[in-house]
Structure 1
């Protein structure tokens, strides 16, 4: 599905495929150390062949993943989101997100989160959980988007465990795309400040 972004561009949200392995490795190389740390909760400068095999070869039932790509450059991944169902609790799944730094604040993460929620409901999942570093407010907010409001947060020192109970409203990604077409947004102030700081450092 094509989803408008807050900077005036558009992202294509689609299921990940085995053929995305090389693109996923290139995407990982674009991520800053902080973004990698927020996604994996540790340093991970490269994805191994085993990593990409696991991340791209999903079954679409118990392991679901979607990517956001640039429609003008479909080989360029902008973000990835996935969930994996708990074997002992089939109504629950663990979710994770990552968006390339230059696109953070443009609405890519929200689109991926809502796409995950839609796919979860279609497959009988009613709760999505995640473990994240305590200062990773971006991911916590994505769980709030999936829940349509408050989430349960268990604070455990340097990490938080978050649970989002999904609203029984299918088709939320299509509704989001329609709203954005009617009311184009802008990049968040956080993204503007980050982009300005990096530009100043690069100069």
Structure 2
């Protein structure tokens, strides 16, 4: 029986239609500096859609929080060049976190404009959903700007349903996937 080359958990080689090869993998502490450096690659629209405000730099505090997820309650994945963590340019970040005291997880995905529209967001979202199902959660949700049509369509195509945002914030919708079925 042949031995197969297996990748570590949550790792996957991803080849975009453009031919660009990326490695989807869990974020590492060494990714902090490259992530901060690559933040400029994310266009103002992507950053605004994710952070719901104009943010020019990724703060040290936010980079620290992203690169040190609690493995019991969070998962943070990156799509990066197939180089060692700390050297690879990060082109996308996906994160899901269990809301304390609930069986719900909130997700967020940020994809560079250079990689948008190539299926990377879909693949990252599938991995987040798989993680949430593995944690036996009831639902997963994300807050999305109402004018972020690509993300709304992506979430809907994966079974997420649009609901009014609980805060009533204008221009913001919540996409919810019921996992308990």
Equivalent position of 2:125 in the other structure: 113
Partner residue of 1:41?
Answer: 52
Is this contact kept in 2: 1:93–1:129, CA < 8 A? yes
Aligned to 1:179: none
Question: How many matched pairs?
Answer: 165
Secondary structure, counterpart of 1:103 in structure 2: coil
Provide the alpha-carbon RMSD of the alignment: 2.0
Equivalent residue of 2:144, what SS? strand
Counterpart for residue 196 of structure 1: none
Report the TM-score, using the length of structure 1 for normalisation.
0.74
Give runs of aligned pairs for residues 43-58 of structure 1, distance below 5 A: 43-58=54-69
Indicate yes or no: 2:164 matched with 1:151. no
Structure 2: how far apart are the matches of 1:32 and 1:123?
A: 33
The one of 8, 19, 37 aligned to 1:8: 19
Residues 121, 136 of structure 1: alpha-carbon distance in 2 compared, 3 angstrom cutoff: same
TM-score by length of 2: 0.82
In structure 2, runs of 5+ residues without a counterpart are 1-11
Q: Structure 1: any 5+ residue segments left out of the alignment?
A: 169-203
Distance verdict in 2 for CA 1:9–1:167, change over 3 Å: farther
Structure 1 residue 81 and structure 2 residue 89: aligned? no
